[in-house]
Chain A
Amino acid sequence: MSITDFLTDLLNPDLAFLPKALAIAVMSSIVCGVVGCYVVLRGMAFIGDAVAHAVFPGIAVAFVLQGSLVLGGAVAGVATALLIAIFAQNRRVKEDSIIGVFLVGAFALGIVIISQAPGYAGSLQQFLFGSITGIPDRDLYLVGGAGLVILGLVLALHKEFVAVCLDREMSRSMGLAVFWLDIVLYVLVTLAVVISLQTIGNILVLALLITPAAAARLLTDRLGVMMLLAPVIGGASATVGLYLSWSYDTPVGGTIVLVATAIFLAAWLIAPRHGLLTKRWRRPSGQEPTDVTRPMPLSDLAHPQDPSLPVR
């Protein structure tokens, strides 16, 4: 299918679900891209994973009660995020096994609950792998509104999030409320996951959070650039993925994630400073790759004893 055909379908009133799905996919991947930067930089992918699993019983209950799936998922996800934040404060306790037990248990609970609803097999598949049909208009506004709130909070608390991410001990000594900042960040991650579930599905949603941000990290050493690149990569993956999925009749969630993964691999190979191939091209004679590609700054010359070789 050509791009023009895709555009025609997007404008076709009989296919009204398609532009809605595109809007939701793009909005959620932009939000996930931004929030995912903190997730990647703090190495807290496990939180995203735990939350993605734990929202399932909430969605199942909402499904059985015919309520809003986004809202049901949000309630369950936020509850989980709070529990994890409380556990994670004491860094001496190994929290990963607790989370592991807990999230699989929550997932199992979701399966049992949803099995009580008639015709659950179809909806189960929809939860797990995402779908572009059957999105109520209400969810469109819910996702848009939630997305704006999330981005607004990120903008407002960015410098605090960065400080905590850089150095928790220093942040405490500066009087920052580290515990509450953790809670807010975990809740933001949860909401980003929940609004993305509809199109991407429960199993693949973690990719939307991690992959664009990780690709962006490979492409830059500057946080500001990274936080602009990640949503662009996410939004592009969603658009291209939906187009491919529509053209070739492939599952939408899987296709979007595959496009994002392809972008990540490309970044890994050709990133300007740290890419695998980039390094090889620069040093064709098989030397050890080092990072000393720039002239030595003056302050190193002023202190020749100070070894300025980068420690990596």
Chain B
Amino acid sequence: MRALEVDQLDVDLGGRPVLRDICLHLDRGELVGLLGPNGAGKTTLLRAILALTRTRAGRVLVEGKPSRPGRSEIGYVPQRHEFTWDFPISVEHAVMSGRTGRLGLLRRPGVADWRAVGDALDRVHLTELRRRPVGELSGGQRQRVLVARALALAPRILLLDEPFTGLDMPTQELLGQLFTSLAGEDHAVLMTTHDLVAAVDTCTRLVLLNGRIIADGHPADLQDAELWTKTFGVSETSPLLKLVRAT
């Protein structure tokens, strides 16, 4: 059974077509990069997978069952700007907030919940900073808090929305290593980005998206310049293509 299967998915937003005929699958152990320019529909695809947006056609199966919000097989890591970073909360409590839905109404976190949070913090190397207010973290540390918050539910599938955006190269590399090792631990990881270099470097498979799927394959198989000009809408002489050829 596939971890994730998207079948002929169509999504409209505000009366306009945003995604058309999306077919995509994801297995455990894979780290797949979803690449596309701004507005390509990357976030919309993740939201459709999480059943947070209405779909026009097609279906999404998570471990063989239709997706719905609140399923703990999927860990979601939204873009960093979705989070209120000036909120007076410590790193460990921010990570615990990821278990709010699982805990349910009127229940307070118990020993098992704190153990899950501790494991997640260990996993992203934030244990030493667990009592720090989230407002005093760097961009890379903030991204790790969001990953830990998703991991606190021990999901088997991870969806990451632009984890590299706005981070410098060393920080990207560190995060890339984390995602690679998560995939190595039998997670299925899907990560959106518009950063080609980071994606080629870390992903086992790339999916090029611009409203529809333009290509899907191993980085080495995506040498055809036309795929990239079609996805990113750049000209034949774009530096992007030089990068593709170099990789």
Contact = CB atoms under 8 A, between A and B. Distances in A.
- Which of A156, A172, A176, A305 has the most chain B CB atoms closer than 10 A to its own CB? A172
Interface stretch (B1-9, B22-30, B130-138, B226-234): B130-138
Contact of B106 (A156, A308, A311): A156
Contact of A175 (B70, B108, B141): B70
B87 A305 contact: no
A168 B97 CA distance: 12
9 contacts: A156-B105, A159-B100, A165-B84, A169-B82, A221-B135, A299-B129, A303-B174, A306-B140, A311-B138
A166 B97 contact: yes
Given A156-B106, A299-B129, A170 B138 contact: no
Interface residues of A, number: 40
Band of interface residues on B:
35 or more
- Which of B93, B97, B137, B139 has the most chain A CB atoms closer than 10 A to its own CB? B97
A172 B82 CA distance: 12
Contact of A160 (B84, B100, B142): B100
A212 to B, nearest CB: 15
Interface of B: 50, 52, 68-71, 74, 76, 78, 82-84, 87-90, 93-94, 97-98, 100-103, 105-106, 108, 125-129, 132-133, 135-142, 149, 168, 170-171, 173-174
Given A162-B89, A170-B149, A310 B135 contact: yes
Contacts of A307: 138-140, 168, 171
A286 interface: no
A168 B50 contact: no
B133 A221 contact: yes
Interface in A129-185: 156-157, 159-160, 162-163, 165-176
Contacts of A303: 125, 174
Interface of A: 41, 156-157, 159-160, 162-163, 165-176, 217, 220-223, 226, 291, 297-300, 302-303, 305-312
Contacts of A159: 97, 100, 103, 108
A111 B89 CA distance: 43
A291 B136 CA distance: 8
B170 A306 contact: yes
Nearest to B85: A311
Contact of B128 (A160, A165, A174, A298): A298
A214 B87 CA distance: 13
Given A41-B87, A159-B103, A222-B90, 18 more contacts: A156-B106, A160-B105, A165-B87, A166-B87, A166-B94, A167-B78, A167-B84, A170-B76, A170-B82, A170-B97, A171-B100, A173-B69, A175-B71, A176-B100, A222-B88, A307-B138, A307-B168, A312-B136
